[in-house]
Amino acid sequence: MDNVFVEKEIYCHWIGVFSGRELDMNRLSTEEGYSDLDEKCSRIFVKDIMRTRPVTIKGDDSVERVLEVFNENQFHTYPVVEKNGSFLGIIDQNIILQLLLTHRVSRLDHTHLMAVKSLSESARGIMIPHPVTIPPEMDLCEVAEIMLKHKVDRFCVVDNDKLVGIICKPDVIKAIYSIRG
């Protein structure tokens, strides 16, 4: 019974661990398969698969309104925009948790939020300014490589300083899966 474990009341038995090398990768990893996938991937652009109407937060929204948006929706990150659609930054779940639990988080970890709560009661004051963004013309392979290289799950898509969409790792996975043939 050394290799039996319980996960959510389901009893499982380890039968072994395998790596990608042990899988039959003929269909997925032949040289021509990769070049075919690369070719297909380079013809699909972020603008073709991005979400074009993301839930946003206005820069002058109150911190209370930001908390309401997070409570009403189930996204990890929200773009912050001006009223005219200009992209300002993002607010993510880490910022919200720090705000909600300022009394429990080490003072060193949230000094900027303590100052914000006393000086500024707006989204602009708590957001992460100037996050990495991508253009709508970037191809699918490029965005996938950037996500993997930098361990990023989502990007705001910006064109001429305006937020035009958001793209998440599941969007990229679904698109690549659908074209792999």
Q: Please list the pLDDT of the chain residue by residue as tens digits (181 residues).
A: 444 444 433 343 344 444 444 433 344 444 555 678 888 888 999 999 999 999 999 999 998 899 999 999 988 999 999 999 999 999 999 888 888 876 565 555 555 555 455 345 799 999 999 999 999 999 999 999 999 999 999 999 999 999 999 999 999 999 999 998 6
For the chain, domain boundaries:
44-179
Helix (H) or strand (E) holding 158: strand 154-159
Residue 72: predicted pLDDT: 94
Residue 102: predicted pLDDT: 67
- 151 Rama class: left (phi>0) / alpha (psi -120 to 50) / beta: left
The Cα–Cα gap between 127 and 115 comes to: 13
Cα-based angle 129, 132, 137 (whole degrees, multiple of 5): 130
The reported pTM is: 0.72
**Residues 12 and 5: beta-carbon distance below 8 Å:** yes
The fold of 44-179 is CBS-domain (3.10.580)
Placement of tokens 């395998």 in the chain: 18
